[in-house]
Amino acid sequence: MNDLFTPKALTDVSNLKKNKDDKTYTAHDIEVLEGLEPVRLRPGMYIGGTDAQSLHHLVAEILDNSMDEVVGGFASEIRVHFFENGYISISDNGRGIPIDPHPKFPDKSALEVILTTLHSGGKFKEGAYEISGGLHGVGLSVVNALSDFLEIQVVRQGHLYKQSYEKGIPQGPLMKEAGKYPGHGTKIIFHPDPEIFGENVQFDPVFLYHRVRSKAFLHKGVQIFWSMDVKEETSSSGDGKEQEEQLVSQKNRIPKEERFFFPGGLSDFVNFYLKEAPKVFNLLFSGEGVLSHGKGHVEWSLAWPLENDEMSEETLLGLMSYCNTIPTPQGGVHEQGFKAGILKAFRSVAERMGFKKFADIAPEDLFKHMKGILSLFIKNPQFQGQTKEKLVNSDLARPLEILIKNQFEQWLLDHREEAQDLLSHVELLIEERLTQKSQKELERKTATRRLRLPGKLADCRATGRSGTELFLVEGDSAGGSAKQARNRDTQAILPLRGKILNVANATLDKAEANQELMNLSLALGCGFGVNFKEKDLRYDRVIIMTDADVDGAHIAALLMTFFFEKMPNLVISGRLYLARPPLYRMVFGKDIFYARDENEKNAIIKRFEKKIQKFEMSRFKGLGEMSAVQLKETTMDPKNRTLERVMLGDSDSFLKEFVNDLMGKEAEKRFAFIQENAQFAKNLTF
């Protein structure tokens, strides 16, 4: 802890902005909503899964807690260290988590309550935090539960306190170290549990580095210190001396140590990413404001760069949005309100400048080349899902729209030259868009007339491919429900009769003679095998929607084999998906829950059995048993459904051998695979 709790390392925080009442942060500020649930049993409920993205969410949670201290005016420094053995250390010089006994649990310290109880923390108590990253139960307790080791160190009132945990279980009482320790703050060291994330669990230091840097951009006053352990590689210089390579790899260069401090905040962020990229105009539209009725504070910085071949992937990102320093990659109401305000302001100024087609300006015309960052700070943010990727506070969009419209409209009027440059740029994009639209409509109508679409296909109304989906379903029964449940504008349905031909052990002539495969090929419009042309594909996405049982899995496997063998580019381009329909429906009082497998079913029952003794449960034998409303709600509505993208690995030879072993003619290879991977069978539903 000497790196954090020493006089040299600490910054004077006496001048930092505090809450109005400068409330004392004690155990009374920790409000417990409910006990700890079996996080280890169902990690997906709390961090979205056990993949690499979910693994890094653990770091994000701890880092967000430290940023909450910064935003609240209680901390000025954060330190992040990545250890070579996979451990992570995150510390801040904030107030330090309270260590006194908790009022509701007098035998435990508030620190232990926070670490072992879901929905506990100062963010549930009015006054302890003015602004924080949200109230979902994805916090320190979840990180603790999913770590095989976690140690927490707290300095408060001149003393250092320590406690260690393994898999969420304290390994001893909270210990007070001897001696005096200046300063204050919290330090957490943890390692994700391989039992949860797999034996090859590993953080990506490049991803962590970029995430840490983005946090520093979001708050002008914070200093964030990044450091890491790497294997020392040496290279010989011209004079024969050995030089240490402070790199993770030659491809992804990041330093072993760096201090992030950006006094310009969001403007520094935009300038950093755009660098010297040519722009429609060189000025940034940057500003900040307070939403009406005290709903929050917003900051932004925008530019309109011109695309060129030298732009990096990061440069090509559009609007990057945050709420209380938490990234919201799926956007939400703050993005909607912000963009609505920008669009209305621009249309208004375009009309004043004599542009007759101002009403024809579409969002894509203005936002296609717009790059920038939006950062919102509000009380009580509401996110969709446990991983906080989309903001859903419904009362924010309108106040944000009004604020941004007024500010951008005034900015354009004050910068007439830049406004004219932007209008000229948008005029070109409108022309380009209308030309492309006419061409696509003509191409689709021509293709539709040329194709003999299969009679069972319920096509969508859209005339272009963008945003359209083709659902492949089992039989007419499921097809009937799906046709009623679909969005007729963008979703098409093609029922398939039984199990299709296994193309892995069939000749080309046999495949071309198979009626179901020909219907599928005709519906897609792109041919297959050597005749496949992706540009002729009639849908953006192809979604395999089969029953949640063994037969359904077999049909899905046969379809995936077909696409792998005959349309691999469709899979490579990320257009093939698997729908995840539920297997069970459970009713607890007025609440209805759907479970996709036995594990989800058991977890839901365990969650409610003590509260509600009686409940109803039904098992769907197939998609055809579900009503159109249920099918739409659980499997087809983009707002609620779960899709899994089918992706290919890096090795073509391995994939071909793997598919041939599982789907080919030699049953011995399939049997050998089952013997070697028998533990997989326990997850199958019969």
Nearest of 35, 57, 169 to residue 104 by alpha carbon: 35
| Three-state secondary-structure class, residue 507 | coil
Residue type for position 268: D
Provide DSSP, 567-591: -HHHHHTT-EEEE---SEEEEETTE
Decide: 288 and 311 in contact? Cβ < 8 Å: no
Decide: 565 and 504 in contact? Cβ < 8 Å: yes
Tell me, rounded to whole angstroms, the distance of Cα 306 from its chain centroid: 28
| 549 labelled catalytic | yes
Decide: 405 and 298 in contact? Cβ < 8 Å: no
CA within 13 Å, CB half, 203: 28
Per DSSP, 636 falls in state I
Say which residue the tokens 């379903």 belong to.
Answer: 473
According to DSSP, the residues that pair with 190 across neighbouring strands are 88, 150
166, 288, 536, 549: the catalytic one is 549
| 3 labelled catalytic | no
Decide: 165 and 147 in contact? Cβ < 8 Å: yes
| Three-state secondary-structure class, residue 617 | strand
Distance in angstroms (rounded) separating the CA atoms of residues 121 and 141: 10
According to DSSP, the residues that pair with 154 across neighbouring strands are 161, 186
Residue type for position 426: V
Q: How many residues belong to the chain?
A: 686
* Positive or negative torsion for Cα 417, 423, 424, 426: positive
Nearest of 242, 205, 203, 188 to residue 79 by alpha carbon: 188
| 474 labelled catalytic | yes
- Residue 17's H or E segment, with its range, is none
| Three-state secondary-structure class, residue 627 | coil
| 395 labelled catalytic | no
84, 534, 551, 591: the catalytic one is 551
Per DSSP, 306 falls in state P
37, 69, 516, 547: the catalytic one is 547
Decide: 457 and 494 in contact? Cβ < 8 Å: yes
Distance in angstroms (rounded) separating the CA atoms of residues 626 and 620: 7
Per DSSP, 619 falls in state E
Q: Output the six-digit token pair for 580.
A: 């995840």
| Three-state secondary-structure class, residue 672 | helix
Per DSSP, 124 falls in state G
- The phi and psi torsions of 277 (rounded to 5 degrees) equal -60, 135
112, 335, 469, 474: the catalytic one is 474
Say which residue the tokens 């909450």 belong to.
Answer: 68
Work out the number of other CB atoms within 10 angstroms of the CB of residue 145: 25
Active site residues: 474, 547, 549, 551
